[in-house]
Protein backbone atom coordinates (compact mmCIF):
# COMPACT_ATOMS: atom_id res chain seq x y z
CA UNK A 1 0.00 0.00 0.00
CA UNK A 2 1.21 3.51 -0.73
CA UNK A 3 1.96 5.99 2.04
CA UNK A 4 -1.25 7.96 1.56
CA UNK A 5 -3.21 4.71 1.55
CA UNK A 6 -1.77 3.92 4.98
CA UNK A 7 -2.70 7.38 6.23
CA UNK A 8 -6.24 7.18 4.86
CA UNK A 9 -6.87 3.68 6.19
CA UNK A 10 -5.52 4.60 9.62
CA UNK A 11 -7.65 7.73 9.85
CA UNK A 12 -10.73 5.88 8.62
CA UNK A 13 -10.25 3.22 11.29
CA UNK A 14 -9.53 5.79 14.02
CA UNK A 15 -12.34 8.23 13.14
CA UNK A 16 -15.06 6.66 15.36
CA UNK A 17 -12.67 6.48 18.32
CA UNK A 18 -11.49 10.05 17.76
CA UNK A 19 -15.08 11.27 17.54
CA UNK A 20 -15.98 9.53 20.81
CA UNK A 21 -12.93 10.94 22.60
CA UNK A 22 -13.70 14.43 21.29
CA UNK A 23 -17.33 14.11 22.37
CA UNK A 24 -16.12 13.07 25.81
CA UNK A 25 -14.33 16.41 26.07
CA UNK A 26 -10.71 15.58 25.26
CA UNK A 27 -10.00 16.94 21.76
CA UNK A 28 -6.25 17.11 22.46
CA UNK A 29 -6.18 13.42 23.31
CA UNK A 30 -8.17 12.68 20.15
CA UNK A 31 -5.63 14.59 18.05
CA UNK A 32 -2.76 12.75 19.72
CA UNK A 33 -4.50 9.45 18.96
CA UNK A 34 -4.82 10.43 15.31
CA UNK A 35 -1.09 11.15 15.12
CA UNK A 36 -0.33 7.76 16.66
CA UNK A 37 -2.78 6.02 14.33
CA UNK A 38 -1.11 7.56 11.29
CA UNK A 39 2.43 6.85 12.53
CA UNK A 40 2.07 3.21 13.66
CA UNK A 41 1.39 1.59 10.23
CA UNK A 42 4.54 3.19 8.78
CA UNK A 43 6.67 2.02 11.69
CA UNK A 44 5.19 -1.47 11.37
CA UNK A 45 5.96 -1.51 7.65
CA UNK A 46 9.54 -0.44 8.31
CA UNK A 47 9.94 -3.12 10.97
CA UNK A 48 8.43 -5.71 8.63
CA UNK A 49 10.85 -4.74 5.88
CA UNK A 50 13.73 -5.02 8.32
CA UNK A 51 12.62 -8.47 9.48
CA UNK A 52 12.27 -9.61 5.87
CA UNK A 53 15.76 -8.34 5.07
CA UNK A 54 17.24 -10.13 8.08
CA UNK A 55 15.44 -13.36 7.19
CA UNK A 56 16.69 -13.09 3.61
CA UNK A 57 20.28 -12.58 4.70
CA UNK A 58 20.07 -15.57 7.06
CA UNK A 59 18.71 -17.74 4.26
CA UNK A 60 21.57 -16.60 2.06
CA UNK A 61 24.12 -17.50 4.74
CA UNK A 62 22.58 -20.97 5.25
CA UNK A 63 22.67 -21.63 1.52
CA UNK A 64 26.45 -21.11 1.36
Q: pLDDT tens digits for 5-42?
A: 777 888 888 899 999 999 999 999 999 988 888 877 66
More confident residue, 53 or 42: 42
**End-to-end Cα separation, the chain, in angstroms:** 34
Alpha helices (H) along 1-64: 3-23, 27-63
For residue 54, pLDDT over 60 is answered with no
Which DSSP letter does residue 61 get? H
pLDDT at 46: 62
pLDDT at 26: 93
Query: How many CA atoms does the CB half-sphere of 36 hold within 13 Å?
Result: 9
> What gap in Å lies between CA 18 and CA 62, rounded to an integer?
48
pTM for the model stands at 0.59
Q: Residue 14's closest CA among 37, 47, 32? A: 37
pLDDT at 29: 92
Amino acid sequence: MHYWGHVGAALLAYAPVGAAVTAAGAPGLAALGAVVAVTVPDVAALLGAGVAAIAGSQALLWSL
